[in-house]
Amino acid sequence: VQLQASGGGLAQAGDSLRLSCAASGGTFESYVMGWFRQAAGKEREFVASISRRYDTYYADSVKGRFAISRNNAENTMYLQMSSLKPEDTAVYYCAADPSGGMATNDFGSWGQGTEVTVSS
């Protein structure tokens, strides 16, 4: 499966942004989908994931502020980010895997990343 992330940009603290991840070349509904992020000088970290049955999981740092969703008819996953903080600044990557999880090694397919910058 090929993944294309979009929707990043500049935001101020407290703003909202919605990221999208368009999938092609695979059976979208059969994949666990996830969002990860990597800030400058840091390791890539788990943000959120959504299972084939629409179960959702979040990192503690974004719980209550971010919402992950998927639209199987449109082969697209979303990350609605609200109450953004400067520490949310990172490159955000979408990922897919038949099994998935909460670690980077749990996902076999990755998009190219979209950058989010949040100013205070």
Give the pLDDT confidence score for residue 98 in this predicted structure. Answer: 94
Q: Say yes or no to pLDDT of 26 above 90.
A: no
CA atoms within 13 A on the CB side of 61: 11
Q: What digits encode the pLDDT tens for the residues 44-86?
A: 999 999 999 999 999 999 999 999 999 999 999 999 999 999 9
> What average pLDDT does range 26-47 have in this prediction?
97
Asked whether residue 27 carries a pLDDT value surpassing 90, the answer given is yes
Of 42, 36, 37, the closest CA to residue 100 belongs to 36
Which token pair is 94?
Answer: 């979408």
Task: Pull the structure tokens for residue 111.
Answer: 């998009």
